[in-house]
Amino acid sequence: MKRFHVHIAVANLAESVSFYRALFAAEPTVLKPDYAKWMLDDPRVNFAISTRGRQPGLDHLGIQVENNDELGELRDRLDAAALPAVAQEQAACCYARSDKHWTVDPQGIAWESFHSLATIPVFGGDNVPSQDEAKASACCAPAIETVKVAFPGKHVRT
């Protein structure tokens, strides 16, 4: 079963944890000095916040899967639609090791499909955009321009 994923960059983690704790009526599943995550079942969502983004606001959206078959299904959907995608295997990000596929919608919003394999003790750092890039992600996404080449116009596989 798939789970919707939302990652929001926040200016103040403690204030945001307090807000979302009240909104969801639940404690975070993961709470670190720079990151918090709620694995909710109603609604079924993996909701994460962190202080790692340059600007507060929506960082990226995604779909979390429970196994490699579901991850392959999502990759097949991107391929069938000729959407640009970048694969990351064994990515170390958000205190987890995951296999991922990244794409970008026509508005420039990053979308991640991923299968978490294990927890790790550090935030990570795979393919983090450099500080001089125009669009940074709080998460460990590849540079947005890497997958954005297909929009607008003809779709090109990267």
Distance (Å, whole) CA 119 – CA 52 = 19
- Other residues' Cβ atoms within 10 Å of the Cβ of residue 73: 13
* Range in 71-75, 127-131, 133-137, 141-145 the model is least confident about: 127-131
Contact 59, 138 (CB under 8 A): yes
Burial class (CB in 10 A: 0-12, 13-18, 19+), 11: exposed
User: pLDDT: is 32 or 91 the higher one?
Assistant: 32
Contact 158, 147 (CB under 8 A): yes
Give the pLDDT score at 156.
35
Give per-residue pLDDT as tens, 28-73: 999 999 999 999 999 999 999 999 877 899 989 999 999 999 999 9
Distance (Å, whole) CA 116 – CA 62 = 13
Report the chain's mean pLDDT, rounded to a whole number: 81
> Which is it for the CA torsion 58, 59, 64, 70, positive or negative?
positive
Distance (Å, whole) CA 30 – CA 42 = 17
Is the model's pLDDT at 144 over the cut of 60? no
User: pLDDT: is 19 or 129 the higher one?
Assistant: 19
Give per-residue pLDDT as tens, 5-23: 999 999 999 999 999 999 8
What confidence tier does 136 reach under pLDDT thresholds 50, 70, 90? low
Reported pTM: 0.75
The domains located in the chain, with CATH, are: 3-148 (3.10.180.10)
Tokens of 148: 């954005």
Beta bridge partners of 112: 62, 102
Is the model's pLDDT at 102 over the cut of 70? yes
Shortest CA distance to 104 belongs to which of 95, 113, 117, 96? 113
